[in-house]
Structure 1
């Protein structure tokens, strides 16, 4: 059969609403806008974990975090890890740039790697995070370190694009699956000056909850903010500058993607998505690690010659990417994968989960229709939002027992949240003991 070439582009921390095609009035993404106009954009795409390594391992295996034990950013994939490269054996599978794979195996089933992660993002210890109520990030530099300037993340992304372009000039006769991973727009919010100059802090409309007091928040969210030092006050000027620097990093990302798109023919299949979002001040939070929309809602665009341009409102998630790649490659559906091909998507509930620092107990999100259900264990009340009528998630509906009961049953149809929490903690304790030897 004639197998099309495939380009998959993965950014880091790009929230789904921060793009021109997504309706943002200020963020400039002309190249991604054109890609979205040529393909199918999924307006209700979600990450399966608002954390880098768990999300990426879920993406690469097509499995939920709890199925593969990808609990936190210290996980090193074991020998039973099966990536896209293990599935698409009739393709030459090539990596350029950011993957956030931990450990000495830098391929994990792929054939070639053109450029690697930055050294300080690779963990060889397997050590899990400390999940105690007194844990705190050393600083709040993820928001206070911002401005125009040069940064190693920018150089990494340009280098990844350069290497991918070198490959695309002479890919060889075999069909290829080329994965290109970018650091941007992940903090620190240090943006190339020419992209920072595109935006004026005076034009920023800060979210109404940007300085929301922790005393008014759900106790799990309040503790999470304390752990990541998002309870340390910042000025309105700092929030505005951090916001425009985030936008500038997205625009630099878009520029790199434009370089890639200009080097491939129109019949190349292209998938663009991100590992998770960025709260950018919503509910006083910068980074992710929870289930508010800006943290879990991600961009997802698929351009395929057989698909007409469209916008889909079906709920989809990162576990759907591997079934899609298999479908594109002409492989039969793998019933061991929980996802579904995006060439013929189905609307179904989305699961996201978090088992890392800032939350001593696990957090889970089930998104179904307009409803978002966030479960934090029996010791805490859940959160429930109608995201359609309350897009900023300011009105918790967890005082409705019938609604909570229905959504909780739907979550438990996917997994046992309390048993999964205990399994994660047991595995993390074992890894901590092993790493300490």
Structure 2
């Protein structure tokens, strides 16, 4: 029996709550809402790193960041790196890329067979140099939030071109089963939205984000590094927020164009590399473990699945086992993830080893609990996300709870040894550069 065709759609910086199917009162995502109604929406899906390149390398290889050494946005995969393309070739699939992958370096395929369109080159790092991880590091500007409003932007042009190319491919994909990956830039900053989509939203509908009164020192340093401590006017916050919503709606429009060309019996996955804080806790971008940064959309349409919702904890490392399962391949026991077609609840892990945090950060999400470990020199953070969805009440003073969650984290990795290895690898790359 011929295995099914597969389409995977990946956006950039789409937080899980900002969608119609997720219950957002304003964000308009009719095409993704329809996909959610046709398949399973995973309400507890998480990124394995709140940063672009580490999360994407983890996603494509089905392995944790620390297993790959994918510490930061400067990492260039070596010849041992195995992606979905390598895996599904064994099942007779042709694998095709359209759009954003954020693969650094000269290899633009990394195991895939064809590329229809490529990344925007100015986003790619061809040097392999690591970021500066010092307390004095600061982003040059806070343009990630202050560059905002209606207008045309190269990100929009990129996304339209990726859709065009993917739709053209789908008109005549050939005889072999295919895996088509379509990567979008939106809703990644800058917050410059196509005028017709910006016009869908009113700044009066924006609920100003919550900020804790007494912030953790690691979060304060992160905010300082990314210039999130520079005051914004209420008008800027409201405009930035509606522009983010508008970029999501433009993304949804492109996905609607794509899905119109995809037969109903095709397996479809939609997800994002990480979320966007959008001002919550006074943070714009991601690079932390609060829910808007780490919880991501995850939708799966498969002929064998009954439509519905899943409360199982899942993460990006589960996508490759799902692709193998859908292709009729046996499970790969070397992969830490599990197939979403038989989703099982278990703790999820996220890591951050880049600028803004001098020491490595690690997040364990287990049941209602979120445990954030920042090294022995810093206090952790603990939240009951079910009871405290805005994560304003740190429970790290509850010693027994901290000890239990810390032990659970250490079943997955040794955070202190991992931090030391990350710093050593980054120092070696810096010396080579």
- Give the TM-score category using the shorter length: over 0.9
1:77 equivalenced with 2:71 (yes/no)? no
Q: What's 1:289 paired with? A: 287
Q: Could you tell me the TM-score, scaled by structure 1's length?
A: 0.98
Q: What's 2:6 paired with? A: 6
Q: What's 1:189 paired with? A: 191
1:240 equivalenced with 2:242 (yes/no)? no
1:251 equivalenced with 2:249 (yes/no)? yes
Q: Deviations over 1:20-61 (max 9, x none)?
A: 000000000000000000000000000000000000000000
1:23 equivalenced with 2:18 (yes/no)? no
Q: In the alignment, which of 178, 181, 204 is matched to residue 180 of structure 2?
A: 178
- Structure 2 counterpart SS, 1:45: strand
Q: In the alignment, which of 253, 271, 274 is matched to residue 272 of structure 2?
A: 274
> Aligned partners of 1:118, 1:284: CA distance in 2, in Å?
29
Q: Deviations over 1:379-434 (max 9, x none)?
A: 00000000000000000000000000000000001000000000000000000111
> Aligned partners of 1:313, 1:274: CA distance in 2, in Å?
18
- Structure 2 counterpart SS, 1:88: helix
Q: What's 1:145 paired with? A: 147
> Aligned partners of 1:345, 1:143: CA distance in 2, in Å?
36
- Structure 2 counterpart SS, 1:414: coil
Q: In the alignment, which of 119, 132, 135 is matched to residue 133 of structure 1?
A: 135
Q: What's 2:160 paired with? A: 158
Q: What's 2:303 paired with? A: 305
Cα distance, 1:265 vs. partner?
A: 1.1
1:381 equivalenced with 2:388 (yes/no)? no
Q: Deviations over 1:149-199 (max 9, x none)?
A: 000000000000000011000001111000000000000000000000000
Q: Deviations over 1:321-349 (max 9, x none)?
A: 00000000000000000000000011000
Q: In the alignment, which of 318, 321, 333 is matched to residue 320 of structure 1?
A: 318
1:348 equivalenced with 2:350 (yes/no)? no
Runs of 4+ residues deviating >4 angstroms: none
- Structure 2 counterpart SS, 1:343: helix
Q: Deviations over 1:231-267 (max 9, x none)?
A: 0000111000000000000000000000011001110
Cα distance, 1:208 vs. partner?
A: 2.5
Cα distance, 1:364 vs. partner?
A: 0.2
1:392 equivalenced with 2:394 (yes/no)? no
> Aligned partners of 1:119, 1:390: CA distance in 2, in Å?
41
| Structure 2: gaps of 5 or more residues | none
Cα distance, 1:13 vs. partner?
A: 0.1
> Aligned partners of 2:119, 2:228: CA distance in 1, in Å?
27
Q: What's 1:362 paired with? A: 360
> Aligned partners of 1:281, 1:153: CA distance in 2, in Å?
22
> Aligned partners of 2:125, 2:397: CA distance in 1, in Å?
42
> Aligned partners of 1:425, 1:380: CA distance in 2, in Å?
17
- Structure 1 counterpart SS, 2:403: helix
Q: Deviations over 1:268-298 (max 9, x none)?
A: 1100000000000000000000000000000
Q: What's 1:68 paired with? A: 68
Query: Would you say how many aligned residue pairs link Structure 1 and Structure 2?
Result: 431
> Aligned partners of 1:269, 1:278: CA distance in 2, in Å?
27
- Structure 1 counterpart SS, 2:33: helix
Q: What's 2:37 paired with? A: 37
> Aligned partners of 1:408, 1:264: CA distance in 2, in Å?
45
> Aligned partners of 2:187, 2:426: CA distance in 1, in Å?
29
> Aligned partners of 1:91, 1:335: CA distance in 2, in Å?
21
- Structure 1 counterpart SS, 2:244: helix
Q: In the alignment, which of 337, 344, 349 is matched to residue 339 of structure 1?
A: 337
> Aligned partners of 1:193, 1:433: CA distance in 2, in Å?
46
Q: What's 1:120 paired with? A: 122
